[in-house]
């Protein structure tokens, strides 16, 4: 374990870079201009370590997050050769500042003085921290007599039952899901580690492997991201019983009173408005209503039932005009655009929709009524974008040239672009990565899924061809970097743009402490930065899948991880799982029976 950290030579994988020097006492941070690989990475060989060793490493990489009573004295000692947190403060900060303004950076580590002494102290601290994780302080990583985990138990774990019982109805327990760490990402020039909660094997390995390739751009920027200026969420208010001949007049009336409507709406999100957010705009949409005859489930009987039981106005006696209004050929929908700052914003949007609906009904005139008042999870104004540019020659992989890989990946993308059957699986792979980050950071992954697939179907976009690939790949030519080369160079480009709605304030984030640790490892990104990180993860996962599919196929790499899960399911002892896995693969018999036979 010790040599792997002291003498690592793999490219820098995350912002917590361990820079050692035997001749100087200077420090190196993630913001330095030196390219990845010029100094050892604290993450080198991370995947080969045992779980407790990884946890110990995280305690050293993020002392402001993962403190223990055993290791705190070494972390805080400040002596020459001791790892210290570069956060502009002598004491651990709850939310360290970003190393680079446009990216979510984890804090950087530095080693000063003699590298051997530094490494020795680091190893000693890690041993103590690992012992703490194993429970040498009596915690044993389990609940103590008070029903809480011991002080030194590693904090990335499942909910305590007393908290879970207050989060949902009829709670009977909790379920765990593995949390892994995606490495090798450089986002807007900032090395970043990304936690992912996922039960499917190969997802974390795939994104980490792809990121190692895609982050190695010549300018050290890696993935580039763009985010909207404001975090907008949409509240929808449906106005009913407005006849076709009045639709234009009602729309004009609402827009003429826009200022008054916004003022009224902001009364229902006053705290958000005080923080610089709140309702900032509205628009009115006329949505074509499908003919009931085109709906196989809506026959004359259902139509008659609706006529008898739906209210036609706010009055107790429906008028003839109101009855006629029900035959409108359009839905009249008012959208209220709300800047929710760093919140996800769903509850805020629904509150605003319900609060302002009576104002809109009054503006719509006699006979009108409000229908549903609810948040929309499709928000094109919240579009985040991730992209990369890498020389084609850098894509060489498993015996395939860079040009072959690029051409085959583009061809695979084109199929997903044109065939919705393929696009569905193509996009499912993207969501493997995005959902895993959403789960690890306390986001509403169902809302994220709904928005992304709606976007893939072309909703909210002009000129859409229907359900298609979320990613895009192409090549460009640019001037040769080598002045001796007369030929332009091919550059491989990839992009993913998604209307991802996430939040880093409020909601479940304030209930479950674990999310402060997972967000903290990314440098406590704001909601826009988190959405951009998730786009990078989705793009990396998709590239990894297409690269594997278009070259050697996915089963070769996936079967090793699948075999490992089979060994676990067969009851193989922990220490024997690698041997059982290797034996099953060698024999070509990957099954529970084969694993039990070996055991």
54: three-class secondary structure by DSSP: helix
Beta-bridge mates of residue 286: 332
Give the residue numbers annotated as catalytic, written as ranges: 200, 428, 444, 558
Rounding to the nearest 10 degrees, give the CA dihedral for residues 319, 320, 323, 325.
Answer: -100
What burial class does residue 151 get, using C-beta atoms within 10 Å of its C-beta: 0-12 exposed, 13-18 middle, 19+ buried?
A: middle
DSSP summary character for residue 442: T
Ranges of H-type helices in 419-444: 420-440
Report the C-alpha dihedral over residues 462, 467, 471, 474, rounded to 10 degrees.
Answer: -70
CA-based max dimension of the chain:
92
Q: How far is CA 407 from the centre of its chain?
A: 28
Give CA–CA dist 478/42, Å, rounded: 35
Structure tokens at 449: 């899924």
How far apart are alpha carbons 315 and 271 in whole angstroms?
Answer: 35
Distance CA 201, CA 64 (A): 30
Q: How many CA atoms lie within 13 A of 302 on its CB side?
A: 7
203 conformational bin, left if phi > 0, alpha if psi -120 to 50, beta if neither: alpha
- 554: buried, middle or exposed (CB in 10 Å: 19+, 13-18, 0-12)? middle
d(CA 536, CA 184): 12
How far apart, in whole angstroms, are the C-alpha atoms of residue 471 and residue 489?
23
| Tokens at 348, concatenated | 């805020």
Query: How far is residue 69's CA from residue 138's CA, in Å, rounded to a whole number?
Result: 12
Residue 73 CA neighbour count, 13 Å, CB half: 4
Angle at 321 between CA 319 and CA 327, to 5 degrees: 120
How far CA 402 is from CA of 213, 347, 390, 395, 488, in Å, comes to 11, 48, 10, 4, 16
Question: Cβ contacts of residue 120 below 8 Å, gap of 6+?
Answer: 81
Residue 42: partners with Cβ closer than 8 Å, 6 or more residues away: 5, 8, 14, 16, 17, 18, 57, 60, 61, 109
Write the CA distances from 507 to 334, 377, 547, integer angstroms: 26, 16, 38
The C-alpha atoms of residue 307 and residue 264 are separated, in whole angstroms, by 33
Q: Are 533 and 207 in contact (CB under 8 A)?
A: no
Distance CA 213, CA 561 (A): 21
Burial of residue 551 (number of CB atoms within 10 Å: 0-12, 13-18, 19+): middle
203 contact partners, CB below 8 Å, separation of at least 6: 180, 196, 432, 433, 436, 541
504 contacts 525 by C-beta, under 8 angstroms:
yes
């Amino acid at each position: 374990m010790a040599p792997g950290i002291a003498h690592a030579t793999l490219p820098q994988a995350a912002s917590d870079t361990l820079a050692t020097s035997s001749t100087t006492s200077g420090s190196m941070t993630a913001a330095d201009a030196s390219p990845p690989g010029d100094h050892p990475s604290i993450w080198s060989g991370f995947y080969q370590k045992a779980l407790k060793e990884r946890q110990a490493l995280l305690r050293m990489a993020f002392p402001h997050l993962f403190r223990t009573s055993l290791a705190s004295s070494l972390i805080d000692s400040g002596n020459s050769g001791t790892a210290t947190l570069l956060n502009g403060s002598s004491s651990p900060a709850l939310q360290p500042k970003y190393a680079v303004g446009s990216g979510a950076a984890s804090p950087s580590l530095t080693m000063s003085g003699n590298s051997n002494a530094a490494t020795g102290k680091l190893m000693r601290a890690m041993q103590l921290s690992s012992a703490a994780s194993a429970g040498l302080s009596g915690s044993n990583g389990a609940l103590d007599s008070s029903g809480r985990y011991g002080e030194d138990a590693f904090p990335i774990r499942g909910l305590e039952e007393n908290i879970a019982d207050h989060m949902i109805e009829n709670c009977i327990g909790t379920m765990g899901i593995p949390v892994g760490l995606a490495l090798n990402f450089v986002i807007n020039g900032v090395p970043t580690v990304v936690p992912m909660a996922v039960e499917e094997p190969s997802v974390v390995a795939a994104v980490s492997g792809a990121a190692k390739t895609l982050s190695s751009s010549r300018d050290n920027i890696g993935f580039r991201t763009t985010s909207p200026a404001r975090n907008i969420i949409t509240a929808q208010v449906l106005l009913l019983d407005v006849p076709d001949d009045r639709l234009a007049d009602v729309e004009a009336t609402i827009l003429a009173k826009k200022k008054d409507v916004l003022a009224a709406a902001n009364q229902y999100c006053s705290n958000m408005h005080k923080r610089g957010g709140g309702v900032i705009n509205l628009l009115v949409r006329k949505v074509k209503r499908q003919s009931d005859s085109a709906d196989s489930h809506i026959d004359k009987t259902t139509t008659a039932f609706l006529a008898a039981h739906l209210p036609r106005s706010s009055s107790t006696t429906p008028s003839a005009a109101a009855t006629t209004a029900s035959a409108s050929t359009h839905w009249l929908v008012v959208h209220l655009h709300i800047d929710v700052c760093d919140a996800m914003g769903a509850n805020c949007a629904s509150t605003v929709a319900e609060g302002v609906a009576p104002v809109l009904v009054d503006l719509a005139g006699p006979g009108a009524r409000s229908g549903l008042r609810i948040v929309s999870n499709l928000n094109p104004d919240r579009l985040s974008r991730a992209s990369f540019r890498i020389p084609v020659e850098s894509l060489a992989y498993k015996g395939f040239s860079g040009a072959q890989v690029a051409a085959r990946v583009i061809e695979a993308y084109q199929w997903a672009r044109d065939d919705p059957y393929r696009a569905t699986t193509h996009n499912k792979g993207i969501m493997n990565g995005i959902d895993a980050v959403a789960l690890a950071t306390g986001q509403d992954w169902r809302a994220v899924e709904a928005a992304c697939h709606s976007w893939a179907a072309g909703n909210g976009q002009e000129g859409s061809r229907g359900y298609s690939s979320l990613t895009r790949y192409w090549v460009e030519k640019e001037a040769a970097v080598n002045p001796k080369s007369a030929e332009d160079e091919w550059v491989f480009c990839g992009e993913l743009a998604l209307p991802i709605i996430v939040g880093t304030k409020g909601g479940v984030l304030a209930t479950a402490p674990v999310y402060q640790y997972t967000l903290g490892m990314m440098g406590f990104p704001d909601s826009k930065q988190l959405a951009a990180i998730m786009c990078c993860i989705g793009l990396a996962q998709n590239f990894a899948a297409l690269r594997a599919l278009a070259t050697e196929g996915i089963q070769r790499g996936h079967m090793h991880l699948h075999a490992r899960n089979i060994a676990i399911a067969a009851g193989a002892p922990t220490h024997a799982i690698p041997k059982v896995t290797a034996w099953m693969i060698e024999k070509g018999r990957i099954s529970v029976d084969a694993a039990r036979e070996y055991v």
